[in-house]
Amino acid sequence: MITSKKILGALLGTMLMSVVLVAIPTALGENANSSDTSICINGWKFALTDPAWRCNDRKMFDTYDSNDKRYVFPMSQPDARWEGYSVLYPFYYPAYPKAPVGNKYYDTGSAFVENIMVLEIPDDFRRDIEDHSIAIYGSPEKVPAEVKKKEKEQILKDAIRNYARGWYVDERARYDDGIFTTVDGHKAYLRTGKNDDKGFSAAASYAAAAVMLDNYHVGVIYVVVDKTGSEGGTLYKGNAKDVINAFTFERETV
């Protein structure tokens, strides 16, 4: 098992399982693959620069549709319909890095990249945002750069709201209001959370980021770092935000 019962119970209590755990669909064969600490999904390569992390052999790929009803905690609908591809549990930080392959504890983790998605920015949503700016300034050429920046920020915030509709509902955890930042040079919107309840995955940290990959795609990453540990195990020294910042993104070369 990549995660202990204790950690799994905590995660299910605090995060939205946005997609159902299913086997990789045949249609995804050319859209997803992985090796070492990198994974390619829908033409984009996500790589972790920290070599201590491992790619999970039990990761699961799926298509994603925000209108799908398969949610654990159905909440209000997002502003737009987001579609794309998702991979669950692609990477983990080994709690027992010295355990040999085949050992019972080899794939036990103390920190996890829970989900990575590559989503297409909905055309209707983008047009609505751009048309509103054009209506104010008269033409696309007259829209100020600062307004165009705000348009991208609105897209990133909706991508996170779409993914994490049920992520912030647990009253035992504290979450920030989110910030606009950059990850590997890409504009991003980041939300982080922390849980200090000793009886509930003590001092666990959470981070969700929407990253503008290009003018047509947004990448979403969700990370959980546990701080309770297992006897004799190794803990990830940073927090969930550190994991997000360790990612690089590039187009997949064929």
Across 199-221, average pLDDT: 85
Task: Compute how many other C-beta atoms are within 10 angstroms of the C-beta atom of residue 40.
Answer: 20
Phi–psi pair at 153, nearest 5 degrees: -65, -40
* Single-letter amino acid code for the residue at 252: E
Question: Strand runs (DSSP E) across the chain, as ranges?
Answer: 32-35, 38-41, 44-48, 54-55, 60-65, 83-94, 109-120, 173-175, 179-183, 186-195, 204-212, 217-225, 247-251
Q: How many domains does the chain have?
A: 1
Q: How far is CA 221 from CA 26, 142, 172, in A?
A: 23, 34, 23
Report whether pLDDT(24) > 50: no
Q: Which two tokens stand for residue 34?
A: 């992985």
Encode pLDDT of 41-98 as tens digits: 999 999 999 999 999 988 889 888 887 766 444 444 456 888 999 999 999 999 999 9
Q: Are strands 60-65 and 83-94 parallel, antiparallel or unpaired?
A: antiparallel
Query: Which residues form the domain of 236?
Result: 5-251
pLDDT tens figures, 97-124: 999 999 999 988 989 999 999 999 999 9
Distance CA 27, CA 42 (A): 11
